[in-house]
């Protein structure tokens, strides 16, 4: 595949800060390699903007290998772009055609206010975790590896839920801006393991209460989150969270 053979028109959301209104700005890029990641394409754009003396586009990124959950971007109407189960850093320009126009917007939710351009404040997720997405253990030497037998099926399900990287694509794509896929993954990974049993009841109630307090919308089971999740977190987790929440309310 030859490099530098794609022409791309970008429509990017530009917004100075949380207090000002934003709008879509149009940029032309002429030398885009199909092997670039989507973020590298933005690096090229920003270099050009800097050379011209303009303000570069602010966007979140960190590991650029699909495991940190920092990169966001709502690309052509979908979080992380047209491919399923990838983050934006793992999306490559070969997924687009020469001459394409690509619309890039920030995650849009009241609970995720825009900081600048494409970066949004996702600290609402941190505050939900702080309400119960942890276990209390005594420090000291690690205990013997086989002292807590866990059924393989449960360990696998807990691990699948724990794959959530907290990127917020579920909230971004949900027509209601609901955070239930995220919260349910965080509740599930602990509810399925013996270490999570001590705080199980309070965890379900407190994390759901914080989710509601942050202003996320209400889940209507459209299933969009499950499709867009880069880590394939299943709707089964939301059903489990519902069960956890019902039982917690009956018990306490």
Q: Identify residues 212-231 at the interface with another protein (CB under 8 A).
A: 212, 215-224, 227-228
Beta bridge partners of 29: 8
Least Cβ distance, residue 210 to another protein (angstroms): 8
The nearer residue to another protein, 33 or 81, going by C-beta atoms, is 81
Beta bridge partners of 120: 114
How many residues make contact with another protein (CB under 8 A)? 58
60 binds another protein (CB under 8 A): no
50 binds another protein (CB under 8 A): no
Question: Which of 158, 163, 162, 156 lies closest to 231, judged by CA?
Answer: 163
Among 8, 39, 181, 241, contact with another protein (rule: CB under 8 A) = 241
Least Cβ distance, residue 155 to another protein (angstroms): 17
Q: What are phi and psi of 192, to 5 degrees?
A: -85, -10
Rounded distance between C-alpha atoms, residue 122 and residue 214, angstroms: 11
115 binds another protein (CB under 8 A): no
Report which secondary-structure segment, H or E, holds 75: strand 74-75
Stretch that binds another protein, among 35-43, 49-57, 146-154, 194-202 (CB under 8 A): 194-202
Give the contacts of 207 (CB within 8 A, at least 6 positions apart). 128, 129, 131, 132, 133, 183, 186, 187
Least Cβ distance, residue 220 to another protein (angstroms): 6
The nearer residue to another protein, 30 or 249, going by C-beta atoms, is 249
Q: Give the DSSP letter of residue 214.
A: T
147-156 long-range contacts, Cβ below 8 Å, gap at least 24?
148/194, 148/195, 150/193, 150/194, 154/192, 154/193, 155/192, 155/193
The nearer residue to another protein, 6 or 190, going by C-beta atoms, is 190
Q: Which residues contribute to the site for another protein (CB under 8 A)?
A: 11, 13, 24, 74, 76-78, 82, 103, 105, 108-111, 131-132, 136, 173, 175-178, 180, 199, 201-203, 205-206, 208-209, 211-212, 215-224, 227-228, 235-236, 238-243, 245-246, 248-249, 252
């Amino acid at each position: 595949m030859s490099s530098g053979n794609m022409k791309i028109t970008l429509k990017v959301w530009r917004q100075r800060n949380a207090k000002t209104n934003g709008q879509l700005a149009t940029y032309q890029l002429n030398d885009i390699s199909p092997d670039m990641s989507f973020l590298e394409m933005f690096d090229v754009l920003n270099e050009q903007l800097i050379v011209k003396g303009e303000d570069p586009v602010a966007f979140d990124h960190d590991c650029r290998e699909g495991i940190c959950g920092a990169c966001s971007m709502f690309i052509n109407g979908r979080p992380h772009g047209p491919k399923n189960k990838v983050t934006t850093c793992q999306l490559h320009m070969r997924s687009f055609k020469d001459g394409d126009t690509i619309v890039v917007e920030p995650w849009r939710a009241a609970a995720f206010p825009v900081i600048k351009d494409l970066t949004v404040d996702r600290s609402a997720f941190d505050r939900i975790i702080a309400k119960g997405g942890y276990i209390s253990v005594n420090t000291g030497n690690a205990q013997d590896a086989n002292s807590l037998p866990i059924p393989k099926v449960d360990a696998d399900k807990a691990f699948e839920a724990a794959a959530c990287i907290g990127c917020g694509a579920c909230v971004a794509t949900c027509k209601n801006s609901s955070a239930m896929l995220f919260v349910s993954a965080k509740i599930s990974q602990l509810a399925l393991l013996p270490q999570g049993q001590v705080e199980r009841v309070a965890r379900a109630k407190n994390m759901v209460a914080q989710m509601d307090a942050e202003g996320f919308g209400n889940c209507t089971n459209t299933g969009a989150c499950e499709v867009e999740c880069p880590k394939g977190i299943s709707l089964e987790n939301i059903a489990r969270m519902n069960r956890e929440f019902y039982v917690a309310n009956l018990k306490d």
